[in-house]
Amino acid sequence: MPLAARTSRRRILIGLFALGGVAAGVGFWATGGGAPEDYALLALALWLGHLLGRAVRGREEGLALLAMRTLGAFLLYTAFLSLRHLNQGLWPSLLWTPLVYPGAYVALSPEAARVFLLRYFLLLVGVSFLSFGLSGEFGDAGLWNTYLQWLASQAGLWVLSSRIFEMGRRAAHAEEEARTDPLTGAANRRGFLEALEAEMRQSARQRLPPLLLAIDLDRFKEVNDRHGHARGDEVLRRIAATLAAHLREGDLLARTGGDEFAILLYDCPASEGQMIADRLCRAVDAAREPLAGVTLSVGLGRLLPGETPARFLARVDGLLYRAKRAGGNRVAVAAGV
């Protein structure tokens, strides 16, 4: 994940935990601790404060699932308390139980959300039935009608949210496929240009503008001429896998043409960018036999202030062809990088 996306996710988590903690604290203050169940709000406020501290310190691993479990447990508890007093009418807290359905799909992966919501719904059925039973109102047909309608609405929300987010997942998958090269699994030219334009819009707010590696394969035409296009396709897949294996997490690899690749290095010092480019050349050269003798020519440049995408690409492509004219299997670096 690019640095900007990670920072945005962290800010969202911090904001949600802060908002939830303040709301729970105000709720406890408003109730005045008049009943034992009011202290659930105090416990929630303290726990959300702990999660806020983790998010501020950057310890985000597993935090989204933990947050959803916290929300689910609190809503189960409020449902238990509310349905025990159903003869007083539906408590407003029951109106918040639907939050968990979209919340799970927003915070978690679709697979994790489906598992979480199945467990949540089964627990909700069990907890709500136990609570309604303890209320001693089994003989009241009106309360049965209210309880069963509420439970049916929860089932409807569960199914409906699953279908909505499944359709969204399919649409997102189709969008991703439109930006992915089917042969290598790297981004295609469209995906690369969109990512580059997004970085250009943010470059003024970032510490370092992105570095670009423009890559062309040396002697690739000979592979197709001698061994056929099936062998050429296999070489392209191997090249893409080798490049991806030697990049940092979050950097973008794209196949921008027949035997041309491009790599965006986010928030990368010049010295590290040169080390990465050299490492890629050595890795491909070391695998020369499986790659049918193919090597890399690489151009390396950094985005300049006010530069357009077309001019940036043309400038780094010029460096790439300078490396090819010098014999290939080398890196040509822009002046000032």
The sign one gets for the Cα dihedral 104, 108, 109, 112 is negative
- Note the pLDDT of residue 78: 85
- Note the pLDDT of residue 34: 73
- Note the pLDDT of residue 104: 86
Would you say 302 and 270 are in contact if contact means Cβ atoms under 8 Å apart?
yes
pTM above 0.85, yes or no: no
Report the amino acid identity of residue 84: R
- Note the pLDDT of residue 5: 54
Start-to-end CA distance of the chain, whole Å, equals 25
- Note the pLDDT of residue 6: 60
- Note the pLDDT of residue 256: 93
Residue with structure tokens 């935090």?
63
Domains, in order of start, for the chain: 3-178 (no CATH), 189-333 (3.30.70.270)
* DSSP output for 84-98: HTGGG---GGGGGGG
Per-residue burial over 99-115, b if 16 or more Cβ lie within 10 Å, else e, is ebbebbbebbebeebbe
- Note the pLDDT of residue 206: 59
- Residue 249, both tokens: 């997490």
* pLDDT tens-digit profile, the chain (337 residues): 454 556 666 777 788 788 888 888 888 888 877 777 778 888 888 988 888 888 888 777 788 888 888 888 988 988 888 888 888 777 777 877 888 888 888 788 888 888 899 999 999 999 988 988 888 777 788 888 888 888 898 898 888 888 888 887 787 777 777 889 999 999 999 999 999 888 887 765 556 788 999 999 998 988 888 888 899 999 999 999 999 999 998 899 999 999 999 999 988 999 999 999 999 999 999 887 777 789 999 999 998 888 888 899 999 999 999 999 999 999 999 987 7
